[in-house]
A and B are shown apart, each in its own frame.
Chain A
Amino acid sequence: MDATDRAQRLKLDTRLAILDNITALNRQRKAAIQAGNAGQMNAIQDSINAQHDQLDDLSFISLKTLEDSPAVKKTLTKLRGAADKLEDEADNIKTVADALQKAARIIDQTAKIITELRALAPV
Chain B
Amino acid sequence: MCLIRYQKPSRAALLIICFALGACSPYVYKDEIATFDQGVDASVQAFQSLMPQYTAWATEQRDDELLRGFASNQIKPSVSDGCERLRGKYLSRFAKSGASAGDFLTADEYAACRVTPAPENDPDKGLPNLTALGMALKSYAAGLVALTNAEDEAAVQSAFGQLNTSAKTLLASVNEKLSEKNQATFDAVGALVYQVGLTYLRQRRFNALKQAVNDNDQVVGRAADLLAEGALNIYDATLTAKKAALNQAENKAVSVTAGDFVTVWSNIDKARDAYVKAFQDSPIYAFANIKATHTALRDSVNDPANRAQLNVLYENAVALTKAAEAALEAVRSDDGGGS
Contacts and interface: CB of A to CB of B under 8 A. Distances in A.
A41 interface: yes
Contacts of B233: 59-60
Interface stretch (B84-92, B130-138, B283-291): B84-92
Contacts of A22: 84
B84 A33 contact: no
A72 interface: no
A64 B180 contact: yes
B244 interface: yes
Interface in B158-185: 180-182
Given A15-B91, A16-B91, A64-B180, A55 B240 contact: yes
A78 interface: no
Query: Which of B243, B250, B254 has the largest count of A CB atoms less than 10 A from its CB?
Result: B254
Interface string A46-60: 001100100110011
A104 interface: no
A56 B81 contact: no
Interface in B68-88: 75-76, 78, 81, 84-85, 87-88
Given A27-B81, A30-B78, A56-B237, A41 B95 contact: no
A45 B251 CA distance: 9
Given A49-B244, A60-B233, A34 B88 contact: no
Contact of B250 (A20, A33, A42, A65): A33
A71 B251 CA distance: 46
Contact of B255 (A15, A27, A36, A56): A36
Interface in A86-112: none
Contacts of A12: 91-92, 95
Nearest to B244: A52
B236 A59 contact: yes
B236 A26 contact: no
B214 interface: no
B247 interface: yes
Interface string B250-277: 1101110000000000000000000000
- Looking at chain B's contact residues, the main secondary structure is helix
Given A36-B254, A56-B237, A23 B81 contact: yes
B36 to A, nearest CB: 46
A45 B247 contact: yes
- Using C-beta atoms within 8 Å of the partner chain, give the interface range for chain A: 20 to 34
Contacts of B254: 32-33, 36-38, 41
A59 B237 contact: yes
Contact of A20 (B88, B181, B240, B251): B88
Nearest to B183: A65
Nearest to A42: B251
A15 B237 CA distance: 13
A80 interface: no
Query: Which of A32, A33, A55 has the largest count of B CB atoms less than 10 A from its CB?
Result: A33
A82 interface: no
A65 B183 CA distance: 10
A41 B251 contact: yes
Interface in A3-38: 12, 15-16, 19-20, 22-23, 26-27, 29-30, 32-34, 36-38
A110 to B, nearest CB: 14
Contact of B91 (A19, A26, A45, A65): A19
A33 B253 contact: yes
A26 B92 contact: no
Given A29-B247, A64-B180, A56 B78 contact: no
Contacts of A49: 244
B40 to A, nearest CB: 43
B85 A23 contact: yes
9 contacts: A19-B91, A27-B81, A29-B250, A34-B75, A36-B255, A38-B255, A52-B240, A52-B243, A65-B182
Interface of B: 75-76, 78, 81, 84-85, 87-88, 91-92, 95, 180-182, 233-234, 236-237, 240, 243-244, 247, 250-251, 253-255
Given A15-B91, A16-B91, 7 more contacts: A16-B88, A16-B92, A19-B91, A27-B84, A33-B78, A34-B78, A37-B254
